[in-house]
Copies of this chain bind each other. A is one copy, B any other.
Amino acid sequence: MPNALPITRSENFAEWYQAVVRLADMAETSPVRGCMIIKPWGWGVWERIQQQLDRRFKETGHQNCYFPLLIPMSFLAKEAEHVEGFAKEMAVVTHHRLKTIDGKLQPDPDAKLEEPLIVRPTSETIIGDAFQRWIQSYRDLPMLLNQWANVVRWEMRPRLFLRTTEFLWQEGHTAHADKADAMRETRQMLEIYREFAENVLAMPVVPGEKTANERFPGADNTYSIEAMMQDGKALQAGTSHYLGTHFAEAQNIRYQTAEGGTALCHTTSWGVSTRLIGGVIMNHGDDDGLRLPPAIAPHQIVLLPILRDKPEDAEVSAFTDGLARDLNALMALGAPIRAFIDRKPTKAVEKRWDWVRRGAPIIIEIGPRDAAGGNVTFLRRDQMYDGPPGGKAKMQTLSRAAFVGKAGSLLEEIQKSLFDQAAHRLCDSIRTDLRTWNDIAAYFGADDDKEFKGWVRTAWSRPTGAELDKVSAQLKELALTIRNAPLDQRGDPGTCVFTGKPAVEEILIARSY
């Protein structure tokens, strides 16, 4: 039997990705160019991402709130670097009414806005404006806010989840009395993202600081977590920015100090988005479709009763109901188990492969013999085959009591096995032995786009200005970027591969999404 997808990762990774998104029922393109429709199964994953991040934000003292979707154009213009960074890709609202003119619906010329409004590409400017009103004294600091929101950045080459004109995200915005406290926050949120990516998404990441040419527009320091996809490319999975006093200066965010003077606030912002779902797909998917880490699977265990309009159906149904009830009363990964019965009146084998493609961690098929014998026959999505992939699926059987007793640890094992696979891949795919530009260029230079390329961890002297521009251009020729300077720097980095000067840190070089 062939795999459950029409295409494999090795044949064409980009097309494979699209096939998984579609056949796992995650999302689809919409009639609005660049915008996606997130389908219930994809949304269920996002809901779990939201819940688990939100808990972490609240545990660290952040409060949720909500700021307007529409931002006056003049706000964007306040912070020069910021407007430069974003002005190129925004949805601009110019009218507030439609009218039928000559039988044709069109923007009403009498309803033209005096000042255009921007659909938020991010909310630093409008939240900064509120900070300026809300923060009076050192007693009001730190101010720790977060919002869950949709944002729009016009995309000419959209890809579902990875790069869409509208996407969903959370954006944290905080204000602090001094740099030390703001940096502590910036690093704390980076660590929360790392821990969440690894423990919840089962996605190993490298946390580090972005180089000057890759910073957020208006930031002093930008940190990221970078994940490796199965084609070797890097995906920036979350960012945390120390904004210094740039926005505070532009927006006059000042506070009265304990000593009675006034001082500028130091602000931060940090965010992750629906892009994470693309990362999960490219991290864990295989040639049969998606494989969801149990911690974010909307259904962790899917039960498929095999009904044939025969007298045994009643027993099969009753067995299925009882098993689901027992499973849902158990805990795994710190939350109640989510078992689901798929009663759709289609063929059992079709349903099995639908759930394989969607990546349900455990799929149980229940026929008359299972019900009569009190057995549970199941498929572990992370251990599909005894033999080569695409062969016969490996159904396992346990007594009902044994399965129920083991269900929680099975799910935890699957969560761990997905992480371990990805962690080994990441670890094995970072070259640390390429210490000259020629070596690096030779490694990445091969024309064959299909060949797997990992990352290169090498050393540089952190050039600036024209020297840095030259590095960027050099990398761009090979479609490379610097992902970050990992936090875990080790010993003497040696010599810079770009300048030949003594290096000051190691950096990761990779192709990226």
What are 7 A-B interface contacts by the 8 Å CB criterion? A30-B130, A32-B70, A37-B130, A38-B65, A87-B99, A90-B96, A91-B117
Interface mask (A77-118 → B, CB under 8 Å = 1, otherwise 0): 100000100011111111111111000011100000000111
State in angstroms the CA–CA spacing of A195 and B37 once bound together: 31
Does A6 count as interface, using CB distance less than 8 angstroms? Answer: no
One of B73, B97, B129, B154 near A87 (C-beta < 8 A)? B97
Does A203 count as interface, using CB distance less than 8 angstroms? Answer: no
Does A437 count as interface, using CB distance less than 8 angstroms? Answer: no
**A87 engages B105 (CB within 8 Å):** yes
Please name all residues of chain B whose beta carbon is closer than 8 Å to the beta carbon of A165 when the two chains form the complex: 70
**B69 engages A139 (CB within 8 Å):** no
Does A292 count as interface, using CB distance less than 8 angstroms? Answer: no
**B65 engages A39 (CB within 8 Å):** yes
One of B47, B100, B166, B345 near A69 (C-beta < 8 A)? B166
**A36 engages B68 (CB within 8 Å):** yes
Assess A69 versus B154: contact at CB under 8 Å? Given A87-B99, A87-B105. no
Please name all residues of chain B whose beta carbon is closer than 8 Å to the beta carbon of A31 when the two chains form the complex: 72, 75, 126, 129
**A43 engages B71 (CB within 8 Å):** no
Does A346 count as interface, using CB distance less than 8 angstroms? Answer: yes
Does A152 count as interface, using CB distance less than 8 angstroms? Answer: yes
**A30 engages B126 (CB within 8 Å):** yes
**A37 engages B64 (CB within 8 Å):** no
Chain A, range 48-72, C-beta contacts under 8 Å to B? 63-72
State in angstroms the CA–CA spacing of A66 and B43 once bound together: 7
Q: Which residue of B lies closest to A116 (CB)?
A: B107
Please name all residues of chain B whose beta carbon is closer than 8 Å to the beta carbon of A497 when the two chains form the complex: none
Q: Which residue of B lies closest to A98 (CB)?
A: B87
Interface range for A: 35 or more
Q: Which residue of B lies closest to A129 (CB)?
A: B31
State in angstroms the CA–CA spacing of A117 and B91 once bound together: 9
**A69 engages B130 (CB within 8 Å):** no
Number of copies: 2
Does A150 count as interface, using CB distance less than 8 angstroms? Answer: yes
**A98 engages B93 (CB within 8 Å):** no
**A69 engages B119 (CB within 8 Å):** yes
Please name all residues of chain B whose beta carbon is closer than 8 Å to the beta carbon of A71 when the two chains form the complex: 32
**A72 engages B32 (CB within 8 Å):** yes
**A47 engages B67 (CB within 8 Å):** no
Does A76 count as interface, using CB distance less than 8 angstroms? Answer: yes
Does A44 count as interface, using CB distance less than 8 angstroms? Answer: yes
One of B46, B94, B346 near A94 (C-beta < 8 A)? B94
Please name all residues of chain B whose beta carbon is closer than 8 Å to the beta carbon of A345 when the two chains form the complex: 139
Does A360 count as interface, using CB distance less than 8 angstroms? Answer: no
Does A168 count as interface, using CB distance less than 8 angstroms? Answer: yes
Question: Taking the nearest CB of chain B, how far is it from the CB of A374, in angstroms?
Answer: 30
Interface mask (A142-180 → B, CB under 8 Å = 1, otherwise 0): 000100011010100000000001101000000000000
Q: Which residue of B lies closest to A64 (CB)?
A: B43
Please name all residues of chain B whose beta carbon is closer than 8 Å to the beta carbon of A43 when the two chains form the complex: 63-66
Interface mask (A114-140 → B, CB under 8 Å = 1, otherwise 0): 001111000000100110000000010
Does A344 count as interface, using CB distance less than 8 angstroms? Answer: yes
Please name all residues of chain B whose beta carbon is closer than 8 Å to the beta carbon of A336 when the two chains form the complex: none
State in angstroms the CA–CA spacing of A430 and B65 once bound together: 38
**A346 engages B139 (CB within 8 Å):** yes
**B92 engages A119 (CB within 8 Å):** no
Please name all residues of chain B whose beta carbon is closer than 8 Å to the beta carbon of A117 when the two chains form the complex: 32, 91
State in angstroms the CA–CA spacing of A36 and B35 once bound together: 25
State in angstroms the CA–CA spacing of A195 and B142 once bound together: 40
State in angstroms the CA–CA spacing of A307 and B38 once bound together: 51
**B107 engages A96 (CB within 8 Å):** no
Does A40 count as interface, using CB distance less than 8 angstroms? Answer: yes
**A76 engages B105 (CB within 8 Å):** yes
Please name all residues of chain B whose beta carbon is closer than 8 Å to the beta carbon of A129 when the two chains form the complex: 31
**A98 engages B118 (CB within 8 Å):** yes
A37, A72, A100, A107: which has the most chain B beta carbons within 10 Å?
A37
State in angstroms the CA–CA spacing of A87 and B100 once bound together: 9
Please name all residues of chain B whose beta carbon is closer than 8 Å to the beta carbon of A83 when the two chains form the complex: 98, 105
